[in-house]
Homo-oligomer: A and B are copies of this chain.
Amino acid sequence: MGDDLESGRDFRPKFDANGLITAVCTDAESGDVLMVAHMTAEALTQSLASGKATFWSRSRKSLWVKGETSGNYLHIVEARVDCDQDALWLKCRPEGPACHTGAQSCFYRIVEDGALRPVSSQP
């Protein structure tokens, strides 16, 4: 069973046609989802080695150490993979706001009756 994708112990992340895997970053303490981004194999290897969440910027087409310019790193506390190994869950210790807007989380708006309402605790 060691080589079974779903029940096995082999880490075989499944990258999509663009060579990317989705990574969900949560606050290890509050459990809040902070951001969702994508990793190439290189970004994933670097993330696990450095302990700092590192993504692939689809717009800039380059490796992107989250916090590299802002100082707002996401320190990985625990990494998990899902059943079919095409998504990652990274429990993180955020150093500062995770969102480029300055919000703690990128998810600062609630969808309600077809419109958006800011979360009260966010700017």
A interface residues, Cβ below 8 angstroms from B: 6-11, 22, 24, 26, 30-33, 35-36, 48, 78-83, 87-89, 99-101, 103, 106-111, 114-117, 119
Q: How far is the CA of A107 from the CA of B84 in the complex (A)?
A: 10
What's the Cα separation between A8 and B119 when bound, in Å? Answer: 13
A6 touching B80, Cβ below 8 Å? no
Given contact pairs A10-B115, A31-B30, A83 touches B110 in the complex (Cβ within 8 A): no
When C-beta atoms are compared, the residue in chain B nearest to A82 turns out to be B106
Q: Is there contact, CB below 8 Å, between B111 and A7?
A: no
A54 to B6: give the CA distance in the assembly, Å.
23
Contact status A110-B78, CB under 8 Å: yes
Indicate if the CB atoms of A9 and B48 lie closer than 8 Å: no
Q: Do residues B82 and A116 form an inter-chain contact, with CB atoms below 8 A? A: no
Report 14 cross-chain contacts, Cβ distance below 8 Å, ordered by A residue: A8-B116, A9-B116, A9-B117, A24-B33, A26-B26, A26-B31, A31-B31, A33-B33, A36-B87, A48-B114, A80-B119, A81-B111, A82-B106, A89-B107
Q: How far is the CB of A68 from chain B (nearest CB, A)?
A: 18
Report whether B80 and A107 are in contact in the complex, using a CB–CB cutoff of 8 Å.
Answer: yes
